[in-house]
Structure 1
Amino acid sequence: MLVVRLPAQPSRHRVAVWRELRRAGALSLGQGTWALPDVPGVADGVARAIELAERGSGEVIVLSATGRGEHDAARLTAMFTAERQEEWAEFLTECGRFDAEIDKELRTGKLTMAELEEEEQSLERLRRWYRDLMARDVFGAPAAEEARQRLQHCADRLADYTEQVFQALHQM
């Protein structure tokens, strides 16, 4: 549990701490109060958030906390999982956009190296995003497996597109 206190202005410090805590997978429980599971990998994000808060003339109090009972622990787990589920849904939407982009390039016959490089960059962005989400998804949201499959599908689509680009370039 983290209690974050920062001056209201300038707001860039609050935003920087907020972004770092979100990146670490923190769950906002209310004004300046955040919860994180005590798992490996979270400590770096907490340390960065503390450093950012201190740069902004603020402070972070880190507390070890557990629920009063199984119900509280289950509720927190459900809240973390719901947040990850939303992130996975957004990721799946982006995989769909990647798929649609490949379809468009094939439909219009845009088989160029420039377009291939752009699609490779898009896939690499999806891969980084997937790794980041996996690191935050400590309780295993249901959509994680579908996301893994969709990312593999995107990689397969890019491999097929790459083959078609090379075939088109060598026919010239």
Structure 2
Amino acid sequence: MTDDISWVLILPQVPSDPSRHRVAVWRQLRKTGAVPVSPGVWVLPAAPAFQADLERAGELCRKGGGVFAVIDASPRDAPSAAVIRDAFASVRVDEWAEFVADCGKFEAEIAREIQKRKFTFAELEEEEQSLDRLRRWYRDLKKRDVLELPEAKTADTRLRACAAALDGYAEQVYQAIHDAPGDGGSGPSGTALRDSPQGHTGLGE
């Protein structure tokens, strides 16, 4: 785990009425990766990867008539640094756990389709979209992984397993439709078969 990280404290002050401005700032800070350490105080690594989203949160705050203060934080001792680091790490660990759980759901879905022998282009395209969503989610979480948590490596392994599972399913879809009597190499809806259905399932990092 990386310990030599600079941090910023974020103090958004937004009028309570109308509430939509406070909600918009809160949502943007969460999207940025900031985590609350006490009421009204958020913390975020002082890294370029977070800057654009942080500036967007400031814009939303000022649009709502508020004040958006960003303060460099320099903990004076190890226990103080741990308060900030542990708060940030706790949220990231929970996010990775949620991601890994969704990877498990994806693999289970592929297994069910294979068990039911549901080898159709429509189902394959739906599963490809699900994998694309997992890839986007992974990239968002990885951008926040400044602590280099071991959970990130686990997530990477699980995402690769999902891609491999979809590759295997795509091959079975191809074979089932290609070998169908009188099919002539087209799917049920007349869609031409791709030469390599696996072309859409690599990680593409």
Deviations 1:29-56 (A, max 9, x none): 2222111111121111110000111122
1:97 CA drift (Å): 0.4
The aligned residue for residue 141 of structure 1 is 149
Give the corresponding residue for 2:51: 43
Q: 2:168 aligns with which of 160, 164, 169?
A: 160
Larger CA deviation: 14-23 vs 129-138? 14-23
Which of 75, 84, 90 is equivalent to 1:76? Answer: 84
Does structure 1 residue 66 correspond to structure 2 residue 74? Answer: yes
**Which residue number corresponds to residue 89 of structure 1?**
97
Question: SS at the partner of 1:29?
Answer: strand
> For residues 50-106 of structure 1, what are the alpha-carbon distances to aligned partners after superposition, in whole Å with 9 as ceiling and x for unaligned?
011112222211111111212211331122111111000000000000001101111
Alignment of 1:125-136 (within 5 A): 125-136=133-144
**Larger Rg over CA atoms:** 2
Aligned-CA RMSD value: 1.1
CA distance in 2, matches of 1:83, 1:161: 34
Distance 2:62 2:26 in 1: 13
Partner of 1:22: 30
2:46 alignment partner, SS class: coil
- CA drift of 1:21 comes to 1.0
User: Moved runs in structure 1, 4+ residues, more than 3 A?
Assistant: none
Q: What are the ranges of 5 or more consecutive residues in structure 2 without an aligned counterpart? A: 1-8, 181-205
State how many pairs are aligned. Answer: 172
Q: Percent identity?
A: 49
Between the aligned partners of 1:167 and 1:11, the Cα distance in structure 2 is 56
What TM-score, normalized to structure 2?
A: 0.80
Asked if 2 retains the 8 angstrom alpha-carbon contact of 1:99 and 1:157, the reply is yes
1:101 aligned to 2:109?
A: yes
Moved more, 147-156 or 78-87: 78-87
TM-score by length of 1: 0.95
Q: CA deviation at 1:12?
A: 2.2
Q: Give CA deviations for 1:102-135 in whole Å, capped at 9, x if unaligned.
A: 0111111111111111100100100011111011
Distance 1:33 1:42 in 2: 17
| 1:41 aligned counterpart, secondary structure | helix
Structure-1 residue corresponding to 2:185: none
Residue aligned with 1:117, SS: helix
Bigger relative contact order (CA 8 A; separation at least 6)? 1
Alpha-carbon distance between aligned partners in 2 of 1:142 and 1:78, rounded to the nearest angstrom = 14
Q: 2:193: which partner in 1?
A: none
Question: 1:9 deviation in Å?
Answer: 2.6
